[in-house]
Amino acid sequence: MELKRAAAWSARAAGWLEAGVLSLLLLCLLVLGCTQVVLRNVFDSSLLWADPVLRASVLWIGLLGAVAAARDARHIRVDLVKRWLGGWPRAVIEAFTAGFAAAVAGVIAWHGGRMVLDELAYATPGDFLPAWVLQLVIPISFGLMALLHAGHAVLNLVRGRDS
Amino acid sequence: MIPALLLLAALLGAPLYAVIAAGALIGFAQAGYDLQIVTIEIFRLAETPVLVAIPLFTFAGYLLSESGAPQRLVRLTEAWLGWLPGGLPIVALVTCAFFTAFTGASGITIVAIGALLLPALVEDGYRERFSLGLVTTSGSLGLLFAPSLPLILYGVVAQQMGIGGPVGIDDLFLAGVLPGLLMVAVLSTYAAFQSRGRSVEPQPFSWGKAVAATRAALPELPLPIVVLGGIYSGLLAVSEAAAVTAAYVVLVTVVINREIKLRELPRLVRESMALVGAILVILGVSLASTNFAIDAGIPGQILDWTTSWVDSKALFIAVLIVLLLFLGMLLDIFSATVIVVPIILPIAVQYGIDPVHLGILFLAAMQLGYFTPPVGMNLFIAAFRFDRSIVDLVIATIPFFLLLLGCVLLIGYWEGLSLVLLDR
């Protein structure tokens, strides 16, 4: 019971953390985007660094949003099984598909990590930040998604055994 | 063997991004590439300026649907259009189209507006089957109007391909106007016919009601002007219009109308960005899978195979529409765009189809997929929301499906309908 409560608490805390980070990034998009409009149309100038920051924020928002989607099991998929099956067959299939997704996300995270290390070694100068800092989101997000998918798979196996 | 296994995983319900990524990983591995190439492709998401528009428009749409905007929009359209024969159904069509354009066709429209309108339609004397079909169909109606997400996503994918002439997002926004209006007009006409012989007479027009409804909706009214006016006047780039829209919607819902509390915002951000993440991660991995497909010469093979038995543009369009309707049953519009467009765009260009026209035809056909049995998403959302069986909804949507199919054929064979507003 103690363990279950700790798990529920940590899931909620992770949800808050995602909400907080995503809010900051979106605020950054919003404020910078509007600033650019005003600067360009009123003062006929622009912040040179704003554009790369905006584009990088979209990458971070997209991939961290994908982590949130993995936690809520909201990734886009063909939803036939969920609608026509129930009980343990459904749990087994859900466990299989989540395990498959965990493996794929894990492989991407691994190669993303290699990409970051390579970039660190060769240190290409980025537009405003070294590229490896921006790329860091790929191993982080896909690593988290791998863990969340794996957790989903285990949960379904347990559910399938119980039903 | 491997494609069959991946297809099986997809049909069993594996997240599509994982299926697409697995295809790219396996393909590149077999061809002897370093698999870092896949992550490098995903990183290209950070090199596409117009993507900035997607999180901002999505967030604005989420805020609007959580506020009192749907009710005010219904009241406004009812006050101005309710006196027409078939007034209320037309209200439903116009409101839903407008709302879907802003919320990106994610099924929110049925929940937010359909639920308001269904009881009103039945009370107004319309047959229940007609009303049910109407609100279910309307849930995807505004897809062709700016600033809908599918339009933006098609533009992004087509720009990545870079063939057959430029595909500006603003071009797509213009090209969708007349085909979108055609769909609204056809369904409105059908609704007007349905209104004959029902028990309740249309409400007379009242200036008092119209003014009151307009005043209530006053803060939201400038939105379409900000978006469309800003983009078409050249004052705002698409991504800038998205930033201004989001800022404006926050101002209206949080500060002026106070319908959304400040502390609710992080939750709404997380919810809306989960949708954005689900779309962008598919786009990211599909950049890799498309790259692999091109490297392996797959589009060329499909092109050769197609040209060997499809010998005219007219036949190609027919084949394309059938294919898209079939795909629309299985895939959601976002996955379909990133997977299918890279394959069909080069072929369509060979047959002399303008990429902008192709985009409108593609989205119009996929729009039908939202309520094509057996898996159309809106059928399920409506079944859940209105507590009806899927079979009821399928039967209810048949006349709407046939009418919109007619529209899709017209859009497909009448290129000018999409392109006349563009200087081409």
Cα torsion for B362, B367, B372, B377, to the nearest 10°?
A: 120
Question: How far A23 CA sits from the closest chain B CA (Å)?
Answer: 6
Which residue in chain B is spatially nearest to A93 when comparing CA positions? B12
pLDDT score at B203: 73
DSSP string, B38-63: HHHHHHGGGG-GGGGHHHHHHHHHHH
Which residue in chain A is spatially nearest to B18 when comparing CA positions? A101
Residue range A25-67, pLDDT digits in tens: 999 999 998 998 888 888 877 787 888 889 899 999 999 999 9
Characterise B145 by phi-psi region: left (phi > 0), alpha (psi -120 to 50), beta (else): beta
pLDDT score at A125: 64
Radius of gyration of chain B (CA): 22
Angle at B189 between CA B185 and CA B193, to 5 degrees: 170
Please indicate if any CB of chain A lies within 8 Å of the CB of B118: no
Q: Do B270 and A76 touch (CB under 8 A)?
A: no
SS3 state of residue B204: coil
Residue range B26-75, pLDDT digits in tens: 999 999 999 999 999 999 888 888 888 889 988 988 888 888 888 888 88
Among candidates A58, A100, A112 on the partner chain, residue whose Cβ is nearest the Cβ of B55? A58
Question: Among B39, B231, B286, which would you mutate to test the A interface (most chain A Cβ atoms within 10 Å of its Cβ)?
Answer: B39
Radius of gyration of chain A (CA): 20
| Cis peptide bond prior to A89, omega within 30° of 0 | no
Q: Do A41 and B25 touch (CB under 8 A)?
A: no
> How far is it, in rounded angstroms, from Cα B411 to Cα B365?
9
**CA distances (Å), origin B81, targets B70, B77, B92, B191:** 16, 6, 10, 13
**A91 pLDDT more than 70:** yes
pLDDT score at B40: 92
pLDDT score at B167: 86
> How far is it, in rounded angstroms, from Cα B115 to Cα B390?
17
Please indicate if any CB of chain A lies within 8 Å of the CB of B6: no
> How far is it, in rounded angstroms, from Cα B238 to Cα B23?
33
Q: Do B55 and A62 touch (CB under 8 A)?
A: yes
> How many percent of chain A have pLDDT more than 90?
47
Closest CA to B20 of B300, B368, B420, B343: B343
Helix H or strand E segment including B245: helix B238-250
pTM, rounded to two decimals? 0.88
Question: How far B94 CA sits from the closest chain A CA (Å)?
Answer: 28
Please indicate if any CB of chain A lies within 8 Å of the CB of B240: yes
Please indicate if any CB of chain A lies within 8 Å of the CB of B394: no
Question: Among B12, B254, B389, which would you mutate to test the A interface (most chain A Cβ atoms within 10 Å of its Cβ)?
Answer: B12
Do residues B363 and B344 touch, judged by C-beta distance below 8 A?
Answer: no
Question: How far A1 CA sits from the closest chain B CA (Å)?
Answer: 28
Among candidates A22, A30, A100 on the partner chain, residue whose Cβ is nearest the Cβ of B243? A30
pLDDT score at B321: 92
pLDDT score at B255: 92
Cβ pairs bridging A and B (under 8 Å)? 215
Q: Do B49 and A51 touch (CB under 8 A)?
A: yes
pLDDT score at A69: 93
Residues of B in contact with A34 (CB under 8 A): 243-244, 247
Q: Do B40 and A33 touch (CB under 8 A)?
A: no
Q: What is the mean pLDDT of each run of 10 residues along chain B (424 residues)?
A: 88 91 94 92 88 90 85 84 81 84 71 80 84 87 87 90 82 92 93 73 81 87 82 83 91 91 92 90 91 85 85 92 84 85 90 94 90 75 81 88 95 92 78
Q: Do B239 and A33 touch (CB under 8 A)?
A: yes
Which stretches of chain A are DSSP H helices? 2-42, 50-71, 80-84, 87-122, 131-135, 137-162
Which residue in chain A is spatially nearest to B50 when comparing CA positions? A55
pLDDT score at A20: 94
